[in-house]
Amino acid sequence: MAQTITEKIFSEHVGKAVYAGEIIRCDIDMVIGNDITTPISISAFNLSGATKLANPDGFSIVLDHFIPAKDIASANQARISRDFAKKHNLKNFFDEKDMGIEHALLPEKGLVVPGDVIIGADSHTCTHGALGAFSTGMGSTDLAFAMVTGGNWFKVPESIKVVLSGKPGKYTTGKDIILEIIRMIGVDGALYRTLEFTGSTIKYLSMDDRFSMCNMAIEAGAKSGIVAYDDITKEFLADKNLARAPKIHYSDEDASYAEILEIDVAKLEPVIAYPFLPSNGHSVTEAVKDKIKIDQAFIGSCTNGRLGDLKVAAEILKGKKVHPDVRLIVTPGTQMILREANKLGYIDIIVDAGGVVSNPTCGACLGGYMGILGDNEVAISTTNRNFVGRMGSRSSKVYLANSAVAAISAIEGYIADPRV
């Protein structure tokens, strides 16, 4: 019987053919924790009576939300993870010494590979599906169960086949594709399903684009997002010291899908998600007509903090100045991205334009620190959520967009079109 790529990944892990809807117990290749969620997992791990990790090399802790610590509470929270990592001699522990946003850092380190089953106590763990892996967010106690046993229970999800056709226009990115999908099906349109991205457009999409698309699959309610391994994936992985040998899977042509979506990407403009849902999508042309004044532009996060995002921002900002009424904050996804951007001159361009560059952190995205919005302030942001109060005050507003839109808007003081 024909299978989707997701069904094949699970089948390979459990040693028999499995299909959508089945409940299975499955070994996990990589378990990911962060400074917010891991202390809860550690507490549950200790309460279980466990004394050692079932798969220590398959467990990573990345301190990325409030690091360097923003206050006493976050410092104490981080210490719990540090003490646990030291006690268990954890190989894959990352803090200020080698920092990055978890969903940018682990692919960079080669710790997540094609064919893996990956879980993390963070909803945007689905990012890693861009590598042809099954990757999903779970709760902190689910994480603890995997720490103790090396596996967990899953319901094999149905898949939605997303067929993308055409070559994207300039400044139309993976972020715009996923925002358009969410606009089409809503924030629960893919509930407990896999968004499988396919079609002729895929060959034009960089790994940065693919990570963005899979990252925001959760914003459509999806359990995961996935893109099959190809030459672009191969090139991305070529210089990585991979934790495991990749296992390559592809969907059968006659595999069964819950739904098929078709999008002509050649006709797609940059998309802006208006407050207060990622599904509230509008074309950039419409946004320009609406004359939306901004107070802050943010470029970063696990969605759009990669080198390609800094590159496009620098191209647009070069020789220009950020509007006097706007704050531009740029957060590279990892220290390596920051170092490479510095070598290429992107950081100088951003700073010369009037932007500020922070350490890698999730802080601004979740309204934690390093970019909080005040009362009634408006931001254009490359992050993944724009709920009420997401980046600060409950009276603030967040418009989601790609990095090019954020950069040109920082210059103009209003949401603007980078194509003009």
Residues 182 and 281 in one domain: no
Do the domain assignments include residue 162?
yes
Say if residue 249 is in the same domain as residue 299. Answer: no
**How many angstroms separate the Cα of 174 from the Cα of each of 265, 303, 328?**
10, 10, 22
The mean per-residue pLDDT over the stretch 255-259 comes to 97
Q: What is the mean pLDDT of residues 403-415?
A: 98
Which alpha helices (DSSP H) does 162-247 contain, by range? 174-185, 207-215, 231-237
Mean pLDDT, residues 281-297 taken together:
98
Looking at 211, 241, 263, which one is the last position of a domain?
A: 263
pTM: 0.95
- Phi first, then psi: what are they for 403, rounded to 5°? -70, -35
Last residue of a domain, one of 210, 231, 263: 263
What pLDDT does residue 416 have? 98
- 301 and 256 within one domain: no
Tell me: the pLDDT tens digits for 314-335?
A: 999 999 999 999 999 999 999 9
In a domain, 417, yes or no: no
Residue at a domain's end among 236, 263, 290: 263
Q: Are residues 259 and 304 in the same domain?
A: no
Tell me if 268 is assigned to some domain. Answer: no
**Same domain? 207 vs 174:** yes
Sheet holding 356-357, edge to edge: 281-283, 271-273, 397-400, 378-381, 296-299, 327-330, 356-357
Do residues 254 and 295 both lie within one domain? no
Specify if 223 maps to a domain.
Answer: yes
Whether 337 is in a domain gets the answer yes
* Strands annotated E in 158-207: 158-165, 193-198
pLDDT at position 189 over 90? yes
Same domain, 258 and 277: no
| Section 133-151 average pLDDT | 97
Share of the chain above pLDDT 90, in %: 99
Domain count, the chain: 2
Together in a domain, 111 and 230: yes
Tell me which DSSP letter residue 363 carries: T
CA distance 316 to 324: 17
Within 10 angstroms of residue 245's Cβ, the number of other Cβ atoms is: 9
If you average pLDDT over residues 337-359, what whole number do you get?
97
Measured CA to CA, the distance from residue 399 to residue 388 in angstroms comes to: 11
Q: To which residue do tokens 């064919």 refer? A: 115
244 and 108 in a common domain: yes
Kindly tell me if the per-residue pLDDT of 213 is higher than 90.
Answer: yes
Same domain for 281 and 320, yes or no, is yes
Q: Residue 420 domain-assigned?
A: no
Same domain, 259 and 398: no
Which residues, other chains included, contact 76 with Cβ-Cβ below 8 Å and sequence gap of 6+? none
Domain contains 419: no
- Domain CATH code at residue 321: 3.30.499.10
Note the pLDDT of residue 364: 93
Tell me the pLDDT band of 97, cut-offs 50, 70 and 90.
confident
Buried b (16+ CB within 10 A) or exposed e, 326-349: bbbbbbbbbbbbbebbeeeebbeb
Domain that holds residue 54: 5-263
Mean pLDDT on 61-66: 96
Q: In what order do the strands lie in the sheet with 193-198?
A: 224-227, 193-198, 158-165, 259-264
For residue 402, what pLDDT is reported?
Answer: 98
Query: Within this chain, do residues 78 and 170 fall inside the same structural domain, yes or no?
Result: yes
Residue 25 lies in a domain: yes
Q: What is the mean pLDDT of the chain?
A: 97
> What's the CA gap between 206 and 402, in Å, rounded?
14
